Amino acid sequence: MAVTKFKYDPKTLRYERAGISILGVTFRVIGYLSFGSLFLVALVLLQNSIFDTELETKLRAENEALESHQVILASRLQASSGRIKRLKSENKDLYEKLFETTLETGESDPTAYKEEILTANSSSFANWMTSVVEKSEMVSAQAKTNNYYFSESASIEKHELRILKNLPTIPPIQNFEVDKLVSGFGRRINPFHKGLDSHEGVDIAATIGTNVLASGPGLVVNIGQSNLLAGYGTYIDIDHGKGIVTRYAHLAEVKIRYGQRVTKEQIIGTIGSTGGSIAPHLHYEVIKDGHKVNPVKYMIGGLSSTEYQQMVNNSNKLNQSLD
Q: How far apart are CA 263 and CA 99, in angstroms?
A: 18
Residue 281: its pLDDT value, please?
Answer: 97
Spatial distance between the Cα atoms of 87 and 109, rounded to a whole number of angstroms:
12
pLDDT of residue 16: 66
Q: How far apart are CA 80 and CA 117, in angstroms?
A: 13
The reported pTM is 0.59
Closest CA to 175 of 216, 204, 217, 202: 204
Provide the angle, in degrees to the nearest 10, between the axes of the packed helices 122-148 and 54-99: 40
CA distances from 153 to 146, 150, 173, 176 (A): 10, 6, 31, 30
Confidence label for 318 from pLDDT (cuts 50, 70 and 90): very high
The pLDDT-based confidence of 6 (bands split at 50, 70, 90) is low
Average pLDDT, the chain: 81
From residue 279, alpha-carbon distances to 82, 208, 321 in Å are 54, 9, 10
CB count in 10 Å sphere of residue 271: 23
Q: Place 214 in a pLDDT band, splitting at 50, 70 and 90.
A: very high
Residue 245's nearest CA partner among 279, 222, 271 is 222
Predicted local distance difference test score (pLDDT) of residue 270:
97
- Give the number of other Cβ atoms within 10 Å of residue 261's Cβ: 12
Instruction: Between 304 and 311, name the one with better pLDDT.
Output: 311
205 compared with 38, residue with greater pLDDT:
205
pLDDT category of residue 310 using cuts at 50, 70 and 90: very high
CA–CA separation, 260 vs 278, rounded Å? Answer: 30
Closest Cα partner for 25 from 16, 33, 36? 33
Model pLDDT for residues 132-156, shown as the tens digit of each residue: 677 767 777 776 776 666 666 555 6
d(CA 233, CA 225): 5
Q: Which residue has the higher pLDDT, 177 or 79?
A: 177
**How does pLDDT run across 44-63, given as a tens digit for each residue?**
777 666 666 677 777 777 77
Q: Residue 9 pairs with which residues in a beta bridge?
A: 14
Contact 211, 194 (CB under 8 A): no
68-103 residue pLDDT tens? 666 666 666 667 667 777 777 777 776 666 655 666
